[in-house]
Amino acid sequence: MLGIKEAVERLSSGGVVAIPTETVYGLAADVTNLQAIQEVFSLKRRPTDNPLIVHISSLEQLGEISKPLTKLELSIINKFWPGPLTLILPRKKKVLDAVTAGLETVAVRMPNHSLCLDLLHKTGPLVGPSANLSGTPSPTKKEHVQTDFGPSFPILDGGVCTVGFESTVITCRTNNLSTARKNVSANTKMPSHSDIIIYRPGAISEQQLSEFGSVEYYSASQAEQDSTGSIPILPSPGLKYRHYAPKARVQWLLSIDQLRAVTSTSILLLLDKTQLVDQAQAIEGTFSFQELIQSFNLVDCEDSWERFGQLLYDTFRVADIENYTHVFVQDIRRSTATSSLKDALINRIEKAISG
Ligand code: TXA
Ligand code: MG
């Protein structure tokens, strides 16, 4: 484990350090150091065509990375930074191609984590993809980083991440951003009519963003084609990679019968156990549902969406480490309660279900 001083020293001399943010831990390196950037890709075993997010602590630092902002971008940033929102912006030329995977844009975020902001203030902009091996869930505490990179990996410990899943990634249409790489000819306009396009849902919701303009989710059918017209070029390369699913089978918990049919070891991730018990008792009469669920590893979030978000990836990691065969997740799609986290959580769970 590192103190902040050691973390600054390592990063300034070209090292890679796992750093805390409010969403998930990031694998940080100096944005201007090519060797350090290459080390991040190699440690994560990340394909080099999947660009990295840059973390900053001030608008001055943003100015080193991106071209001037539009009015819309500026108002969005003023509202949500520091926070779990990443903007895809036109990049300054001097940003290394390795960081952006050759794209003309760069993804930038100001994290809402005081230790991380303090670090960034001292180091300057740092790249920070999630600090996991490609194909494992993003890490939400230092133990997760150690599982993937070993017990002596340098980590700046900032405690458990309060959000627990990755930031919302957006772009604003006024930029007319191209998804073309320097060596690929492609159309230059986003085929969209909305002001804001969400590439990856996160804790900043569609509804919160809609105060600033029209919002839509990116869908793969909008992808530009390459010059041969056959290969879609995805504007956010991460979209094309397989998503994490634990070895255990992840399923929505749709009926109590599902649980009765399972005799092997299972984890139950519940938003609210009380609600489930009430539902079950209404259907089953005197049947002791409590008894049935006693044979499961219960993760009850006591009706807190925040807690549910914090525990999602941890539950997946526990399932892998402890060889559970099933992960049942309470069907939050049917929950009448509203939460700004709901869409993003459904998105991550559905990805884990479909692998
Ligand atoms: O919350 C987060 O965003 C965390 C913490 C550590 O900040 N970081 C994170 O990074 O999740 P990563 O690399 O695991 O996910 C970044 C996503 C990827 O899907 C990548 O393809 C996309 O952002 N991305 C990065 N640069 C981009 C660009 N210039 N244009 C479009 N998409 C980009
Ligand atoms: Mg990641």
**Do 263 and 172 have their domain in common?**
no
**Do 73 and 190 have their domain in common?**
yes
**Does 336 map to a domain?**
yes
**Do 291 and 219 have their domain in common?**
no
C-alpha–C-alpha distance, residues 75 and 98, integer Å: 29
**Do 185 and 259 have their domain in common?**
no
Atom 29, ligand 1: residue with shortest CA distance:
106
90: CB partners within 8 A, 6+ apart:
66, 67, 104, 105, 106, 175, 177
**Does 243 map to a domain?**
no
Cβ 16 vs Cβ 27: under 8 Å: yes
Is the CB of residue 201 below 6 angstroms from any atom belonging to ligand 1?
Answer: no
Is the CB of residue 99 below 6 angstroms from any atom belonging to ligand 1?
Answer: no
60: CB partners within 8 A, 6+ apart:
none
**Do 55 and 191 have their domain in common?**
yes
**Do 211 and 345 have their domain in common?**
no
Cβ 346 vs Cβ 333: under 8 Å: yes
**Does 327 map to a domain?**
yes
162-195 residues labelled b (16+ CB within 10 A) or e (exposed):
bbbbbbbbbbbbebebbbbbeeeebeeebebebb
Give the pLDDT of residue 98: 97
Atom 20, ligand 1: residue with shortest CA distance:
238
Index of the ligand 1 atom closest to the CA of residue 165: 1
**Do 278 and 227 have their domain in common?**
no
Radius of gyration in angstroms for the set of CA atoms belonging to the chain, rounded to a whole number: 21
67: CB partners within 8 A, 6+ apart:
89, 90, 91, 92
Atom 30, ligand 1: residue with shortest CA distance:
236
pTM over 0.85: yes
C-alpha–C-alpha distance, residues 72 and 88, integer Å: 13
Residue 68 CA to its chain's centroid (Å): 26
Atom 19, ligand 1: residue with shortest CA distance:
238
Give the pLDDT of residue 234: 65
Q: Is 257 helix (H, G, I), strand (E, B) or coil?
A: helix
**Do 119 and 258 have their domain in common?**
no
Task: Report the relative pairing of strands 232-233 and 17-19 from DSSP bridges.
Answer: unpaired
**Do 57 and 105 have their domain in common?**
yes
What CATH number is attached to the domain comprising 174? 3.90.870.10
Q: Is 299 helix (H, G, I), strand (E, B) or coil?
A: strand
CA of 353 to the centre of ligand 2 (A): 17
**Does 238 map to a domain?**
no
Index of the ligand 1 atom closest to the CA of residue 199: 32
217-251 pLDDT, tens per residue?
A: 987 665 555 454 444 456 766 666 666 778 899 99
Give the pLDDT of residue 220: 64
Residue type, 110: M
Q: Which position has the token pair 């899943």?
A: 165
**Do 228 and 311 have their domain in common?**
no
164: left (phi over 0), alpha (psi -120 to 50) or beta: left
Give the pLDDT of residue 219: 74
Q: Which domain holds residue 253?
A: 249-354
Q: How many residues does the chain have?
A: 355
Index of the ligand 1 atom closest to the CA of residue 26: 6
**Do 28 and 56 have their domain in common?**
yes
Index of the ligand 1 atom closest to the CA of residue 23: 1
95-130 pLDDT, tens per residue?
A: 999 999 999 999 999 999 999 999 999 999 999 999
Give the pLDDT of residue 223: 58
**Does 208 map to a domain?**
yes
CA of 199 to the centre of ligand 2 (A): 14
* Helices of type H across the chain: 4-12, 34-44, 59-65, 71-80, 97-100, 114-123, 142-149, 206-209, 256-260, 273-284, 289-293, 305-321, 342-354
C-alpha–C-alpha distance, residues 107 and 127, integer Å: 10
Give the count of domains, the chain. Answer: 2
Boundary (domain end) residue, out of 233, 264, 284: 233
Q: Which two tokens stand for residue 155?
A: 């980590």
**Does 19 map to a domain?**
yes
**Do 333 and 203 have their domain in common?**
no
Strand partners, 156: 2
Boundary (domain end) residue, out of 233, 268, 291: 233
Probe residue for ligand 1, chosen from 40, 48, 53 as the CB with the greatest number of ligand atoms within 8 Å: 53
For the chain, list residues with pLDDT below 70: 174-192, 220-234, 236-243, 263, 283-288
Probe residue for ligand 1, chosen from 236, 239, 242, 312 as the CB with the greatest number of ligand atoms within 8 Å: 236
**Does 161 map to a domain?**
yes
**Does 241 map to a domain?**
no
Boundary (domain end) residue, out of 233, 268, 295: 233
